[in-house]
Amino acid sequence: MRVALYQCPPLPLEPAANLQRLHRLAMEARGADLLVLPEMFLSGYNIGKEAVSTLAEVHNGEWAQQIGRIAKAAGLAILYGYPERTADGQIYNAVQLIDAQGERLCNYRKTHLFGDLDRSMFSPGEGDFPIVELNGWKLGFLICYDLEFPENARRLALAGAELILAPTANMIPFDFVADVTVRSRAFENQCYVAYANYCGHEGDIHYCGQSSIAAPDGSRIAQAGLDEALIVGELDRQLMVDSRAANRYLHDRRPELYDALNKR
């Protein structure tokens, strides 16, 4: 499976412009099976509570319908970040996967909110960690800060995830997350991790770029620098099989020793 990541500066408060940008990009990425966009791609991330409340949409709203049409026209699946409004009035930092036929496959809500910025705008997701299949690969989902908790990636790996998709809005001075943590999560869980970040700045936030696809052996199969880029990597199932045979972290776990972790 060929996976494309789009690293870009945000266009805050401009969903229509972001949809136009996505349409152009999806056509450029034709030949890939999946296109992954950054966290809160449609609205921008650092936009404040009032703007998030104004822009938030239901998961099957007009944005989803437009992206479904884009995905179908380009012949690829799209994972995008957006502010989701639910029937009970909650607003979540969410990502949604739409397949190449334009059908919604999965909606995931960020469970671990980062600092006052996230907490002022969103409710935390309740801990649903779905696994869905796309083109014969099992996919799991995390958003930005979620990936920095090793328990989240391990939970997905134990549920069968072969590729963890992580749209993000990671900023300076946390460059080491993009450089080190992404590869660590891939290696320790023996799966691929695709990390799609912003570059440039948004208000007082300066994003660190360095989007990448990390392989189960800890290598990178695609990596962006600090500027806008569309990168593509091809997942190799045999590499994953060989890496899992050589590095038996999942097999050698002793979960009976870890009970105390859930009691603190």
Q: Which residues are catalytic?
A: 39, 110, 144
For helices 62-74 and 15-28, give the axis angle rounded to 10 degrees: 20
Tell me phi and psi for residue 238, to 5 degrees. Answer: -65, -35
123: which DSSP letter?
A: B
Torsion sign across C-alpha atoms 44, 48, 49, 53:
negative
Q: Give the tokens for residue 198.
A: 């912003």
CA neighbours closer than 13 Å in the CB half-sphere of residue 13 = 9
Long-range own/partner contacts, residues 16-19 (CB < 8 A, 24 or more apart)? 18/42, 18/43, 19/63, 19/66, 19/67, 19/70
**CA 176/CA 210 separation, integer angstroms:** 10
Q: Are 88 and 121 in contact (CB under 8 A)?
A: no
Other CB atoms within 10 A of residue 258 CB? 11
**CA 123/CA 53 separation, integer angstroms:** 12
Alpha helices in 29-164 (DSSP H): 49-55, 62-74, 115-121, 150-158
Tell me phi and psi for residue 174, to 5 degrees. Answer: -100, 35
